[in-house]
Amino acid sequence: MGDALYTFCLPLLSFRLTGSVLVMSSMFAVSVLPVILFTPFAGVILDRFSRKRLMLCADLIRMGLIALIPVMAHYGLLAIWHLYVISLLLSIVSTGYDIAVVTLIPALSGKNLTRGNAGVQTAGQLADMLGPAIAGGLASLMSITSILWLDVASFAVILYVLYRLPQEAERTRSAKPAIFAEMSQGFLWLIRSPVQLALSVQAAIGNFGYSAAYATLTYYLITKLHLTTGQMGMTYTLLAAGGVTGSLAVIYLDRHFRRGRLIPLLLLAGTCGFVLAGFNSSWLAPGIGFGLVAACNTSWSVLSASIRQEKVPPELLGRVLSFSRVVTRTAMPAGALLGGWMSGALAPGAVFLLAAGAKLIEVIIAVASPIRRL
């Protein structure tokens, strides 16, 4: 819930400070860059040390960083560069935290990996659905920065939940290889697995298009559709509702359909969502279109996570996931910056057409790679 409030408030805050779509999109790009640089080290750290303790530390740091925004705003000190720095640091810490969540799912859910991954996605998407609606309503009652105190409170709740999780068994090694040697093990495993590599490349292309569209969505809603804060909250709520639907539906779909056929069909439906978002004049169209995209993306994410957890050895999972994340996130800054430029220089729907084209390339990869045999 708290992260959804932050995600909703940050672009609004950056736009109010500068009035620039390029600043909004570059803010998104900056938040992704640390993923590329830091993730390989995060994978090694997670495979070496207690994931529960690392998650507790990460949660404390994130809580402190978010609290800085309303504190500085209260004293009139908040500047756009502060948001860049905080966004950068949050991205570094959240990268390790997110990978830790995925690596813990096999231990907590046993053989029901799809159900476990879907449960995590459902919880996250429900928070994303309620967060913008709450933020949109609260924006008329308090400042954008004050809303972030709810995010700080949510991290305190997460701290308690993490503390109550059972402690992992101690992992002992007689001799630990050098950190770069451990990193190379994860990288080599990834590139030698055709299915894992295809999933990663597929996601990288999709993330390029999605980043271009999502990083400029708030700007599009404000300047092209002239939506109120409440209507923007509804748009992001519809987006998250699509994610919830996808996370619930994938449990049934995975049970009754072969993954090799299901994945390209999901991606094709996502293509239609981007087209609807950009080429329909109704103010509800972006919410419905992005909701369809979110449903398909969430289902794909659950399936791909389950495939990785089934195929990758547990002792390598953190490192393989970290390098996969490097591949999948590398194109996101470029996509976000390109989207910012396109929104200012081209027709309003052009950026959504770019995202739809990226989704079509994902479909081609799905049917032309070993993914089709899953």
**pLDDT on residue 56:** 87
> Tokens 């972030």 correspond to what residue?
148
Q: Which amino acid belongs to residue 237?
A: T
Residues 285-318 have pLDDT tens digits of: 889 999 999 999 989 988 988 888 888 887 777 7
Residues 17-67 have pLDDT tens digits of: 777 666 666 766 676 666 677 777 777 777 677 777 888 888 899 889 999
**251's tokens:** 């449990």
**pLDDT on residue 364:** 93
**pLDDT on residue 355:** 92
**pLDDT on residue 271:** 93
346: closest CA among 278, 284, 293? 278
Q: What percent of the chain has pLDDT over 90?
A: 15
Pick out the chain residues at pLDDT < 70.
1-4, 20-25, 27-29, 31-35, 47, 108-111, 125, 127-129, 131-133, 135-136, 139-140, 166-178, 348
The correct CATH number of 2-164+180-373 out of 3.40.50.920, 3.30.920.30, 1.10.10.10, 1.20.1250.20 is 1.20.1250.20
**pLDDT on residue 156:** 85
**pLDDT on residue 173:** 52
342: closest CA among 208, 157, 177? 208
158/127 Cα distance (integer angstroms): 13
**pLDDT on residue 357:** 93
* Residue 168 main-chain phi, psi, to 5 deg: -70, 155
Q: Per-domain residue ranges for the chain?
A: 2-164+180-373
332: closest CA among 203, 239, 236, 219? 203
Tallying the residues shown for the chain, one arrives at 374
* Residue 331 main-chain phi, psi, to 5 deg: -80, -10
**305's tokens:** 């996570």
Surface-to-core class of residue 139, CB atoms within 10 Å of its CB (0-12 exposed, 13-18 middle, 19+ buried): buried
217, 240, 303 from 318: Cα distances, Å: 32, 27, 18
C-alpha angle 112-247-215 in degrees, rounded to nearest 5: 135
Q: Which amino acid belongs to residue 79?
A: A
307/201 Cα distance (integer angstroms): 15
**pLDDT on residue 344:** 73
- Spatial CB neighbours of 124, under 8 Å, sequence gap ≥ 6: 243
**pLDDT on residue 269:** 92
331/207 Cα distance (integer angstroms): 7
246/299 Cα distance (integer angstroms): 5
